[in-house]
Structure 1
Amino acid sequence: RVENVKSFDEFLEKRFPESRRKAYYLMSIHEHLPPQARRELKEVGWTKGLELAKVARRDRQHFDCATWLHKAREMPKEQFKQEVEKELTGQETEPWEIIYFKLYKSQIPVVEQAIETAALMLGTDKSRGYCLEMICADFLAGANLENGNSQVLLQSALRFFKFLPGEERRTFMEYVTQKAS
């Protein structure tokens, strides 16, 4: 009770008023990293320390501390995160970025419905980012009509046609047949 606090929550509030999450990250680092890595934490930074802790938690006694500390010192933060991700999943990940933009409350239902519909068509295992990319690609395909390239629109329409349930396919075909005659 060095700090004269009544609870752990009060301790966190006093020592980490700006971020409880950082306190939990530091606890994870302390719990999983070996002492030699913890000593060098100030040099590599706590963000890289958190990534090191992920590998250390998985490898336990077989954690190659020297190699991973060297990588943490030498690599930029994002590259190091990708290296850890590759180590943990066995897959190369594409660099990513979080994009923020403002939506009016009236726009949110439209955007959400478009993303949900795309997820149903593409498979619910796809990320929201992938669904948004496909929505944008479809929009761009339609925009290419202005350049006189109707082939892009045709391919887009055919792609979406195959996702229609049976009854909607028949309705669509009746409409197209009626318009063609």
Structure 2
Amino acid sequence: MGRRQSIDRNKVLDAAEKVVSEQGVGGLTIDAVAKACGISKGGVQYAFGTKDDLIAAMIDRWEAEFDAEVAELGKGDTSVEGGVRAHAEATRDFDGTSVDRAAVMLAALVQDKNRLAKTRAWYEARMAQLDSSTEEGRRLRLAFLASEGAFLLRSFGFMPMTDEEWQQAFDDILRLVRKK
């Protein structure tokens, strides 16, 4: 009896992201991921179950990586301002590949009501931290919304931006975060 082969879930997720980046979300199938990863379809299904479960795992990993980046950039600053600043900096640091990856995740996200509810709760928690009765709170809210708006516009290709334009926009957004 042979040794049971283990499947590296992260390698499967990497392969799934590669499929999406090369073929678009429509090309994301269990078969395509299996071929890209060099394993059987059954191996992908063993690791993730369904295509929806695979997409959910891709989103979970993306969210965890983004949250870790925000935490690292925050360097222990637990203030609301520090959180908004770190969020904007993490968003600014997205490269073209990350933006493409995020667009796929967001497109998949809006098709899943449970995932959409989690995302709404995430945004509600961020917005609840901002005191819109103060000038500072309104400024931080504007910076957060501008950061998310720029990200969504670029991710979905509604507003192509060069890297220089992207950096300039985030320079402006980060100026909103700095205390006056």
TM-score by length of 1: 0.24
Higher relative contact order by CA 8 Å / sep ≥ 6: 1 or 2?
A: 2
**Larger of the two Rg values belongs to structure:** 1
What's the TM-score once normalised by structure 2's chain length? 0.25
